[in-house]
Amino acid sequence: MNNPQLDKNGELQHLLTIDGLPRAMINHIMDTAASFLNLAEREVKKVPLLRGKAIFNLFFEPSTRTRTTFEIAAKKLSADVINLNIDASSASKGETLLDTVDNLTAMQADMFVVRHAQSGAAHFIARHVAPHIHVVNAGDGRHAHPTQGLLDMFTIRHYKQEFHNLRVAIVGDVLHSRVARSQIHALTTLGVPEVRVIAPKTLLPSGVEHMGVHVYHDMKPGLKDVDVIIMLRLQNERMRGALLPSAQEYFKYYGLTVDKLALANPGAIVMHPGPMNRGVEIDSDVADGVQSVILSQVTFGIAVRMAVMSILVGGHA
Amino acid sequence: MTQLPDAEQLALDLAHRIGLYLSEPGRAASCALVGIHTGGAWLAERLQQALGGDLPLGALDVSFYRDDFQRIGLHPETKPSRIPFEVEGCHIILIDDVLNTGRTVRAAMNYLFDYGRPASISLAVMIDRGGRELPVAARFVGAAIDLERSRNIQLERGADGRLSLSLKEAV
Amino acid sequence: MNIHIRNARLIDPKNQLDGRHDIYIAAGRIAAIDAMPDGFRADRTLDADGLVACPGLIDLSARLREPGYEYMATLESEMIAAVAGGVTSLVCPPDTDPPLDEPGLVEMLKHRAKGLNQAHVYPLGALTQKLEGLRITEMAELRDAGCIGFSQADAPLVDTQVLWRAMQYAATFDFTVWLRPQDAYLAKGGVAHDGEVATRLGLPAIPASAETIALATIIALARDTGARIHLCRLSTRTGVELVRAAKAEGLPVTCDIAIHHAHLSEMDIGYFDANCHLVPPLRSRRDRDALRQGLLDGAVDAICSDHAPVDDDAKLLPFGEAEAGATGLELLLPLTLKWARDMGLPLSAAIARITTQPARILGLDSGHLSPGQPADLCLFDPERYWKVEPRTLKSSGKNTPFNGVELQGRVRCTLVDGQVVYEGA
């Protein structure tokens, strides 16, 4: 089966998922992101790489944060950005997903940044767009959020330099998390020797160990000797549907407090893809503490998205 | 095959002529050197040394401003660009190792203008090999060399810091 | 019309025939095998050299989409697809719109089908009114209108007391209850098998236990009520074992699998191929292998197409939103032949599972070519390769996981009641 992310020359045509991306490509994206980082110090914080290109943000699921970061990244590359928020009601007014995509193609789009509630939506759109259009998956259902995974890896590289000697723990609702899946693929591809998931059984998908992770249900052994702790957001609706009894019990056993953090290695960094539920998965003292790198994740997110967009649009020698 | 000139000697020649330019009244106080990575940055360092060591020195990587991005993409290892002086109102001496089509210089000028409005930009190059595709001219030229399109001339810096020129087949 | 078929390799599993035989057809029936009847003059002679002649295929599940879903497919298109696939009898589930819960609807469907003069249609009646799972239907009246059994199709029947009563009522008249074992709650929201692939792709999942729990419930109630049960579209290894045990106990239980589950697994979903969005979901390779083995050793009685034509638009959506189902009538023969080849079995083993076995499940004296039987036959070229493509399919449903795949086994001619209803290359 042809990897739909690559064009016929094996170059990256779309970014849909980290699953199947070669390690060299992940490193290339991170290296490129590093070169975009120091733009912030210049007077003119833009570069003309994507001037004249039209990037359409197709958000079928609302999200101000992610959409704004993509918009900022695109504008820093001098691209034109058009935002489309297509909520359920306008979609149900009859226009199919493919019709929407076709109409936008006719409006001379060069790139679609897509967020959708269905797993596989970005793959679906990529399969049907005209050959010159690039698709960036900004989150599809539970499946993947590759730019988040990449910026998380960039963050880890920034603070820890190497991957080959790390222990990383991902804590929380892995079952519903596209971020967690992307992180797991990235960490294993980059050669992190020990990737752990820590969660109650109700929040872990079947056979998750086949993705290359060690499963823990108890934070005490789970966080021991860990260098990087990634906290996942717990959504309120998990309390309905018999997955969890209450936020209080969850926080007591799976929330990251200063005491729990002390179980990890002394220099461990704390990450969170955001937005945080303070007091549910993470304590404010930790979120605002010295080991937290959560804010830098946001900064790195812009550079990483600039890198992804440039690599997709740029030709190849 | 013509013998290639000695790069160190060319650098000294350039420094001498730039020095004359700088000696005009009031000029030196508002001048700065900017080298284009990588060969131009090496040359700029050498020139700064030869000119007394106190001229402001900057370096820039034009990767994000090249006009062939659509064709050949981004090189991931961009060198960090540093402009540690005020561009506004400055007489900038832009320095590169080899001048060919003129596109790199065009990109470098765009880059500088993103920082502010210089009073003037003068171009200093070690080798002008011709083949201009844009209206770009160097004020200070070390040597002019005619080369077949199939060959490139390259500046190198040894472990001891010595500059030298060499010929390579074009890719 | 008198028809003489010569040079065919006649495979009739029930009569244990597999060899070169002449077939003589008169007045819509098999007049004789081998020995030409006295005074027989053929109006038409079919030279079946290189072809296999077998009883017309009996498909235990083919959705015709009428009434109510004509935008997906119509009786006309699907009946043509059936005979193009060598199917001369088919069972259609009751989940039409409105569902087949009234005798009038069943009569109308049977009448329309008969008028097209193609395959025999055996409708299943709804087990409960509107398939809602609350009140039982007039099963006896529906049987009189032509229903050969009663089913919930894919609609859940959650109230086990209703299920129990429905089975008791059916058992009163010795009607067969056709049930797809799926626990509604465990399957809720799921679109793929709860395994490695769904975990990796982030697809809401249906655990195997959704089937096994439902099977255990149905088998226990069958034991209590004595009802005859046909279990539709098994998909799990454990499910096969449960059925095997129930049969060993002597319970009147039969089961079938669909062609897709005999060959495909969750791995075939690949990059979210919506053609693999099926009900029940494609499960693990171990499950698939158990189904294939079960069909061999008899724990699984028959294989069917589970034909469910879907319009293109409904498949052109992200995996979870795409309508479940695949076209299958024209793939029943080649995919059953492939199963037999893969398992090292002779052609007759394949043919038995789509002729004699389904006939036994339906309680019909059909699926064989004994003299006196209605002449329902399929002539096919077992060697011929053909590519599955929208333009080679007669069904309105062009969506199948086998799109673009080359299969071996091509129907050349189909006869129903002694009339040639399909001829193709």
Residue A139 Cα, gap to closest chain B Cα (Å): 26
Subunits in contact with chain C (3 or more CB pairs closer than 8 Å): A
Judge whether A205 is closer than 8 Å to chain C, CB to CB. Answer: yes
> Band of the pLDDT at A1, cuts 50, 70, 90?
low
Q: How many CB pairs under 8 A join A and B?
A: 49
Which among A2, A7, A18 has a CA at the least distance from the CA of A183? A18
User: What pLDDT sits at residue B114?
Assistant: 87
The reply to whether residue A118 touches residue C199, judged by beta carbons under 8 angstroms, is no
| Residue range A163-179, pLDDT digits in tens | 999 999 999 999 999 99
Q: What is the DSSP letter of B98?
A: E
Residue C151 Cα, gap to closest chain A Cα (Å): 30
What's the mean pLDDT when you consider all of chain A? 92
Residue B87 Cα, gap to closest chain A Cα (Å): 11
Does the structure show a pLDDT above 60 at A91? no
Q: Kindly name the residue from C183, C194, C301, C306 that is annotated as catalytic.
A: C306
> Band of the pLDDT at B66, cuts 50, 70, 90?
confident
Average pLDDT per 10 consecutive residues for chain C, totaling 425 residues: 96 96 96 93 96 98 92 91 98 96 96 93 97 97 97 95 98 97 96 97 98 98 97 98 98 98 97 97 98 98 97 94 96 98 97 98 96 97 96 94 96 97 93
Residues of A in contact with C311 (CB under 8 A): none
What number of other Cβ atoms are within 10 A of residue C34's Cβ?
12
The reply to whether residue B114 touches residue A311, judged by beta carbons under 8 angstroms, is no
Probe site for chain A from B61, B68, B74 (most A CB atoms < 10 A):
B74
C-chain residue closest to A182, CA distance = C200
Q: How many CB pairs under 8 A join A and C?
A: 76
Residue C207 Cα, gap to closest chain A Cα (Å): 9
Judge whether A98 is closer than 8 Å to chain C, CB to CB. Answer: yes
Does the structure show a pLDDT above 70 at A42? no
* A88-105: average pLDDT: 74
Which among A305, A275, A259 has a CA at the least distance from the CA of A138? A305
Does the structure show a pLDDT above 90 at B64? no
DSSP one-letter string for A14-36: -B--STT--HHHHHHHHHHHHHH
Probe site for chain B from A28, A45, A47, A110 (most B CB atoms < 10 A):
A47
Residues of B in contact with A32 (CB under 8 A): 74, 76
The reply to whether residue B81 touches residue A49, judged by beta carbons under 8 angstroms, is no
User: Which residues numbered 161-190 in A keep a CB inside 8 Å of some CB on C?
Assistant: 178, 181
Give how far Cα C400 sits from Cα of C116, C262, C356, Å: 26, 14, 26
**What are the two backbone dihedrals, phi and then psi, of residue B135, each rounded to the nearest 5 degrees?**
-75, 75
Judge whether B69 is closer than 8 Å to chain A, CB to CB. Answer: yes
Residue C402 Cα, gap to closest chain A Cα (Å): 14
Residues of A in contact with C206 (CB under 8 A): none
Least confident of A191-205, A250-264, B67-81, C371-385: B67-81
* A215-229: average pLDDT: 97
Least confident of A32-41, A177-186, C406-415: A32-41
Residue C400 Cα, gap to closest chain A Cα (Å): 17
Least confident of A139-143, A311-315, B77-81: B77-81
Does the structure show a pLDDT above 90 at A217? yes
Residues of A in contact with B72 (CB under 8 A): 314-317
Q: Is C306 a catalytic residue?
A: yes
The reply to whether residue A35 touches residue B76, judged by beta carbons under 8 angstroms, is yes
What's the mean pLDDT when you consider all of chain B? 91
Q: What is the 3-state secondary structure (H, E, C) of chain C?
A: CCEEEEEEEEEECCCCEEEEEEEEEECCEEEEECCCCCCCCCCEEEECCCCEEEECEEECCECCCCCCCCCCCCHHHHHHHHHHCCEEEEEECCCCCCCCCCHHHHHHHHHHHHHCCCCEEEECEECEHHHCCCCECCHHHHHHHCCCCEECCCCCCCCHHHHHHHHHHHHHCCCEEEECCCCHHHHCCCCEECCHHHHHHCCCEECCHHHHHHHHHHHHHHHHHCCEEEECCCCCHHHHHHHHHHHHCCCCEEEEEEHHHHHCCHHHHCCCCHHHCCCCCCCCHHHHHHHHHHHHHCCCCEEECCECCCCHHHHCCCHHHCCCCCCCHHHHHHHHHHHHHHCCCCHHHHHHCCCHHHHHHHCCCCCCCCCCCECCEEEEEEEEEEECCHHHCCCCCCCCCCCCCEEEEEEEEEEECCEEEEECC
User: Which residues numbered 30-59 in A keep a CB inside 8 Å of some CB on B?
Assistant: 31-32, 35, 38, 42-44, 46-49
Residue in C194, C195, C203 nearest the CB of A119: C203
The reply to whether residue A315 touches residue B73, judged by beta carbons under 8 angstroms, is yes
The reply to whether residue A124 touches residue C195, judged by beta carbons under 8 angstroms, is no
User: What pLDDT sits at residue B92?
Assistant: 97
Residues of A in contact with B77 (CB under 8 A): 31, 35
Subunits in contact with chain A (3 or more CB pairs closer than 8 Å): B, C
Q: What is the DSSP letter of B64?
A: G
Does the structure show a pLDDT above 90 at A241? no
Residues of C in contact with A1 (CB under 8 A): 270-271
User: What pLDDT sits at residue C26?
Assistant: 96
Between CA A134 and CA A149 the distance in angstroms is: 19
Residue in C195, C200, C317 nearest the CB of A97: C317
User: Which residues numbered 142-161 in A keep a CB inside 8 Å of some CB on C?
Assistant: 142-144
C-chain residue closest to A181, CA distance = C200
Between CA C13 and CA B169 the distance in angstroms is: 77
Probe site for chain C from A137, A143, A178 (most C CB atoms < 10 A):
A143
Does the structure show a pLDDT above 90 at B49? yes
Residue A52 Cα, gap to closest chain C Cα (Å): 31
> Band of the pLDDT at A68, cuts 50, 70, 90?
very high
Residues of chain C whose beta carbon is less than 8 angstroms from a beta carbon of chain A are 194-196, 198-205, 207, 270-272, 274, 313, 316-321
Residues of C in contact with A101 (CB under 8 A): none
Does the structure show a pLDDT above 70 at A317? no
Give the pTM. Answer: 0.89
Residues of B in contact with A51 (CB under 8 A): none
